[in-house]
Amino acid sequence: MKKILVANRGEIAVRVMKTAKKMGIRTVAVFSEVDRNAPHVRFADEAVCIGEAPSNKSYLLGDKIIEVALKLNVDGIHPGYGFLSENADFAEAVEKNGLTFIGPKSKAIRVMGSKLAAKEAVKAYDIPMVPGIDEAITDVSKAKEIANEIGYPVLIKASAGGGGKGMRVVDKEEDLESQMERAISEATSAFGDGSVFVEKYVTSPRHVEIQVMADTHGNVLHFFERECSIQRRHQKVVEEAPSSILTPELREAMGVAATKVAKACDYVGAGTVEFLMDADLNFYFLEMNTRLQVEHPVTELISGVDLVELQIKVARGEELSLKQEDLKINGHAMELRVYAEDPLNDFLPSVGTLEVYELPEGEGIRVDNGFEEGMDIPIYYDPMLSKLTTYGRTREEAIELMLDAIKDYKIKGVQTTLPFGTFVMEHEAFRSGNFDTHFVKDYYSPEILKQKNTEEAKIAAMVALQQYLEDQKIIKLPTN
Ligand code: MV4
C-alpha cells in the first residue's frame, strides 16, 4: 500500500495520516468547500475538493470519493469514524473498484448494523446477553407475554437503532402498547426499518467496551476495555482505560467474549464490542461497532500499540505479529472530548471563531486536534474540536494531569466542554469510581458550573486587587 485516501475530516483525518506518514505511505485528503484551509487538507500530500459544505454533498458522497481515489492511484481508503465508516454499501463499492477498504468486510458491517442480526450471529458462541427476545415483534400480546416472563421494567429497542433512537423504557404492562407504537414509528421514520424487540431494562448500567483487532488469517486479539459511562444524550464525553472496577478475571472473560463476537462475523480490522455491566458486575453483549472509535487513544496509551498501524497492516493482508499473552496494561489513560458546546446551555453547539486556541503540552498529554487559532467552526459537522488525553501511572495521576491540562488549554471565542471536564474530574463519584451511565443526569446541573465560575471570578478579583495594592505599595491586605 503506497497511497491512502482518508475519507474524513478533522482530528481523525489528521490522526490517520500521521500513522500513514510514519509508515512511508502517501496520503490524500478530501475536503468540502468550507474545509479548504483545514489542518487535514494541509497535512496531506494531496487534497481534492469533493463538494459543498453539507456532508451529503461532500463527505458522504461515496462514489465521488472512489472516483478521486481511482484518479489519484490510491491503494486504500480509510473511512475514520462517522460519515461512511459503517456504510456497508460503500465498503463493498470500494472493494468492487479494486481498492482496499481499511476496515471489515461489508458483510460484517451489515450484520452488526442490525442489532437483531448481530444477536442471531453470536447466538452459537455462548456470549452473555440481556434477557429478552431476539426477533422483531409487532404483536403487542406477544410483547406482553415476554415482558411478563422477564419482568418489568423492560426496554423496547429498534433493531436498526443507534444513539438511543427508538428506545423506550416501559415500567408496567399498561404502558407497553403505547410505547411500542411510539418506538415502531420512531424507528420507521429514523431508520426506515420499524423492527423492534424487547429486553430486560438494566437500570443502572455501566458502559464497558472491548477493543478488538482481527487479521485475515483468523487471529483475533483484544486490547482490554474502555470505560465510557460518562455520557449525555448518548454522546460520550469522558472515556478511560482501564476501567476501575474490572478484576483481571472479568477482563479476561470479557476479552474472550469480545473475540468470540468478532469471530462470529468473520471480522477483519479494528472493532469495538460494547457491553452493559450491571451493579453486580454481570456483563451483557450489546452491539459491535465496526470502525475505529473516537476514544481509541486511551487504548493506545495503555497498550502501547498504534491501532491505525495495525489496521493498515491487516488491511494489507499481514498476519498480526502480536500474541494475546504479549499484551499488558501499562498505566492509566483518561480522555475528555473537547466539544464547541455550551455546558451552561444544555450542551448546545457553540459555533463561532476560535479567537484564542492554545493546546496544553507536556509529558503524559496527548491532544488529537483538528483546529487552529483563527478558524471558524463549521456548523455542518460534529462540533468536536479535539480529544484531550492524559496518561499516568495511576488513575489518580491521570486525573490530576487532566485537571492541569484543562487549565493550560486556552480557548476564546466559543464555549466548550472543558469546564465540564473539570467538574467530572473533581467529582467524588467519579474519583471513587462509583458511577454509572446516569452520572450526568444524577450529578450535573449548569448551576454547579455557574457557582464555580462565580467563585473563581471572586478569587481572581481578590488576587488582582492584592496585586494592585502591592503595586501601590500599600501594605494592607483585603480583609475579605
Ligand atoms: C440498554 C440499557 C439498559 N438495558 N439495554 C443505549 C444506546 C444503545 N447502544 C444501548 N443503550 C442502552 N441499552 C438494556 N437492556 C441502557 C442503555 C443506555 C445506555 C447504554 C450505554 C451508555 C449510555 C446509555 C445511556 C442510556 C441508556
Which ligand 1 atom sits nearest the alpha carbon of residue 130?
15
Instruction: Report the residue count for the chain.
Output: 480
The number of folded domains in the chain is: 3
Q: Report CA(398)–ligand 1 centroid distance (Å).
A: 27
Q: Is residue 393 part of a domain?
A: yes
In a domain, 471, yes or no: no
* Residue 166 near ligand 1, beta carbon < 6 Å: no
Active-site residue, from 15, 291, 337, 395: 291
Residue 336: all three cell numbers together:
475528555
Return d(Cα 110, Cα 394) in angstroms, integer: 39
Query: Could you list the pLDDT tens digit for every one of the 480 residues in the chain?
Result: 999 999 999 999 999 999 999 999 999 999 999 999 999 999 999 999 999 999 999 999 999 999 999 999 999 999 999 999 999 999 999 999 999 999 999 999 999 999 999 999 999 999 999 999 989 998 899 999 999 999 999 999 999 887 778 899 999 999 999 999 999 999 999 889 989 999 999 999 999 999 999 999 999 999 999 999 999 989 999 999 999 999 999 999 999 999 999 999 999 999 999 999 999 999 999 999 999 999 999 999 999 999 999 999 999 999 999 999 999 999 999 999 999 999 999 999 998 999 999 999 999 999 999 999 999 999 999 999 999 999 999 999 999 999 999 999 999 999 999 999 999 999 999 999 999 999 999 999 999 988 888 888 889 899 999 998 888 876 666 666
331/240 same-domain check? yes
C-alpha cell of residue 163: 444513539
pLDDT value for 55: 98
Same domain, 26 and 45: yes
In the prediction, which pLDDT does 178 show? Answer: 95
- 433 and 287, same structural domain? yes
Q: Same structural domain for residues 355 and 386?
A: yes
How far is ligand 1, taken at its centre, from the CA of residue 236, in Å?
A: 12
- Phi, psi dihedral angles at 363 (to 5 degrees): -65, 135
Please count the other Cβ atoms lying within 10 Å of the Cβ belonging to residue 128: 13
402 lines ligand 1 (CB under 6 A): no
Structure confidence at residue 164 (pLDDT): 79
Q: Cβ–Cβ contacts within 10 Å for residue 184, how many?
A: 20
Together in a domain, 23 and 95: yes
Which cell goes with 405?
Answer: 491540562
Say if residue 184 is in the same domain as residue 227. no
Predicted local confidence at residue 456, as pLDDT: 85
Q: Assess whether 310 and 394 both reside in one domain.
A: yes
Query: Do 156 and 300 fall into the same domain?
Result: no
- Count how many Cα atoms sit within 13 Å of the Cα of residue 349 in the half-sphere of its side chain: 12
Residue 267 lies in a domain: yes
Q: Is residue 124 part of a domain?
A: no
DSSP one-letter string for 198-214: EEE--SS-EEEEEEEEE
Q: What is the pLDDT of residue 7?
A: 98
Domain hosting 167: range is 131-200
Q: Which of 204, 211, 248, 203 is nearest to 227 (CA)?
A: 211
For position 477, what pLDDT does the model report?
A: 63
> Which residue lies with its CA nearest to atom 3 of ligand 1?
202
3-state helix/strand/coil string of 334-379: EEEEEECEECCCCCEECCCECCEEECCCCCCEEEEECCCCCCECCC
427 and 285 together in one domain: yes
Q: Are residues 225 and 190 in the same domain?
A: no
Looking at the domain assignment, is residue 289 inside a domain?
yes
The pLDDT of residue 222:
98
Q: Please tell me whether residues 196 and 241 are part of one structural domain.
A: no
Residues 211 and 343 in one domain: yes
* Within-domain flag for 309: yes
Q: Is 445 helix (H, G, I), strand (E, B) or coil?
A: coil
Distances in Å between the Cα of 71 and the Cα atoms of 44, 68, 99, 214, 282 are: 16, 5, 12, 30, 51
Residue in the structure block whose three cell numbers are 459543498: 52
